[in-house]
Amino acid sequence: MRYQLLGRRPLRHIVAICCTLIITNWGAAAAARAETTPTDIARAENLWDVLVTSAGTNGNSAVLRFDGRSGQAIGTYGCAGGIVDPRDIVPKPPLGGVLYVNNGNDSVLKFRSRTGEFLGIFTSYPNLNPGGSVFGPDGNYYVGARSLRAILRFDGSSGAFLDNYIPPGLVAFPRGFVFAPNGKFYLGNGADPATGTGGGTILEFDGKTGALTNPNFVDDASLSPLDVIVGPDKNLYVSSEFPFGSANSVGSVHYYSTKTGKLLGVLDAGVDTQGHPRLSRPRGLGFGPDGNLYVSSTGTGTVVRFNGKTKAFIDVFAQYPNLNGQALTFVYKSFVNRCPLPQ
C-alpha cells in the first residue's frame, strides 16, 4: 500500500512559502501536523514528488524523481547509496521517514525519505535477489527473494533474517504480495518467465501464521500478476502482462474484492495517437496523495495515471528515456540532495 506521503510534514499554511519549504517555527509545525493530514496538504499544495525505481536491465539503474504536479523528471534519488539495480521501494511505517530500496547486489538500502540521504545497508542475504517487499503488521520486513522463489522475513528494526515466511517450492514464480486489512496475505502466482505460461492466480494466506488458506483465491485466465497492492477501497489491485513476455501482450490493471476474490473491473489506458497502447508491460502500482492510481509502464518508459474513484484513464503522467519502472512511491518535495538525472 503505497498511497501515503513520506517524511516530515510541512506547515499547514506553507503555501505562501512553498517554493523554499523553510520551517522557522518548529512548535507551529508540530501543531499543524496535529491538525492537518499529509494528504490534505498535498492535495491543496502539490508538495510531493513521485519516486520510480528504474531497473538495471534495459533501464537507468537509478531511482528517478518526478515532480508531483507536472510529472517532469527533476533528478535521481539516493545517488550516494550505491544503487545498482533498484527494484521495490517502500517506507517504514508508521511515519515513513525512512525508505527501503531493494538492490541488485542482494542487499536492502536505507535512505532518508525526503532528502535521499543514504543511511546504510539495512540487510543483506545470500542469493536474496530482492524483488517486491512490504512491512507487515508485525513490524517486520518481508522480501520476495526472486532466485530462491520464496518470501523471506527480516526483523524490521535490526534487519536480521528471521525465517522463510513463504518457503521455496510452494509457489513456482511468486510475484507481488501484500498484507490486507482483513488479516490476510495475498501473493501473486506469476507465469514462467521462460515460457510465459502458468500462473494466473492469487493465493490467500493467514497473515499471522503464513498458512495457505486458499490457493485459488483469484483464478483469472486473463491475468498474469505482477505487483499486488490494496487500494483505499480495500480491494486488490494487480498489474498484469498477459501473455507474459509476448510481443503482443496486453497491459492492464485488474482489481478484485478482498472478500470474495471476484473480479470487479479492468483498467485500460487505451492507445495513443499512433495507435500504440499507452500501458505496456506494467509493473509498480501506487495510490498517490491525490487519490489517483499511478502505474509504471515499462514497455513505454512512462508512468500512467487513472482516476482513483471512476477508474478512468487520466493521462501519461511522466516519462523518461529507458525508464524501466519496477515500483513507485511518493515523498514530500525536497530541494536538497537532488542528484543529476542519468544520461
pLDDT tens-place string over residues 156-185: 999 999 999 999 999 999 999 999 999 999
List, for residues 222-234, the tens digit of each pLDDT value.
999 999 999 999 9
Q: What is the spatial distance between Cα 239 and Cα 132, in angstroms, rounded to a whole number?
A: 13
The per-residue pLDDT for range 96-111, each reduced to its tens digit, is 999 999 999 999 999 9
Please state the φ and ψ torsions of residue 17, each to the nearest 5 degrees.
-130, 25
Given pLDDT bands bounded at 50, 70 and 90, which one contains residue 21? Answer: very low
Tell me if 134 sits within 8 A of 90, measured CB to CB: yes
CA 321, chain centre distance (Å): 20
* pLDDT the model gives residue 31: 30
Q: What is the mean pLDDT of residues 271-279?
A: 96
Strand 141-145 and strand 130-135: the pairing is antiparallel
202 within 8 A of 235, measured Cβ to Cβ: no
Average pLDDT, the chain: 88
Give, as one character, the DSSP assignment of residue 86. -
Encode pLDDT of 232-265 as tens digits: 999 999 999 999 999 999 999 999 999 999 999 9
Say how far apart CA 64 and CA 343 lie, in whole Å: 12
Confidence band for 46, pLDDT divided at 50, 70 and 90: confident
**Average pLDDT of 52-61?**
95
- Sorted by where each starts, the structural domains of the chain and their CATH numbers stand as 31-332 (2.120.10.30)
Q: Is the pLDDT of residue 14 over 50?
A: no
Distance, CA of 324 to CA of 327 (rounded, Å): 9
Measured distance CA(83)–CA(115) in Å, rounded: 15
Q: Which three cell numbers stand for residue 67?
A: 515532480
pLDDT at 37 > cutoff 90: no
pLDDT of 5 strictly over 80: no
